[in-house]
């Protein structure tokens, strides 16, 4: 994963992906009405996957997904 150089203001409704959980459920973690700080980072190993880094005052999230925001995979969601 590349170094995060800056964070952008992102609206929840534009980035609120449904993540599959080990029990088979699919969950959205964000509030569509809130603004978060985050960035999209290209994978250093090539391919069509991207890393998403996202934060608020309450949590930090790291995920990866395909170029068209499909097939999201939650890597870490850490509450404060």
62 bridge partner residues: 53, 76
Q: Which residue has the higher pLDDT, 40 or 45?
A: 40
Q: Length of the chain, please?
A: 80
Residue 47 predicted with pLDDT over 80: no
pLDDT, mean of residues 55-59: 96
Residue 37's alpha-carbon distances to 20, 46, 49, 78, in angstroms, are 23, 25, 20, 15
Beta sheet of 59-66, edge-to-edge order: 8-11, 35-42, 49-55, 59-66, 73-79
Residue 25 predicted with pLDDT over 80: yes
Structural domain spans, the chain: 8-79
């Amino acid at each position: 994963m590349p170094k995060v150089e800056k964070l952008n203001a992102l609206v929840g409704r534009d980035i609120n992906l449904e993540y599959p959980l080990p029990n088979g459920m699919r969950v959205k973690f964000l509030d569509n009405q809130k603004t978060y700080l985050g960035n999209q980072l290209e994978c250093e190993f090539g391919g069509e996957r991207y890393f998403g880094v996202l934060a608020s005052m309450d949590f930090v999230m790291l995920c990866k997904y395909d170029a068209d925001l499909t097939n999201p995979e939650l890597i870490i969601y850490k509450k404060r």
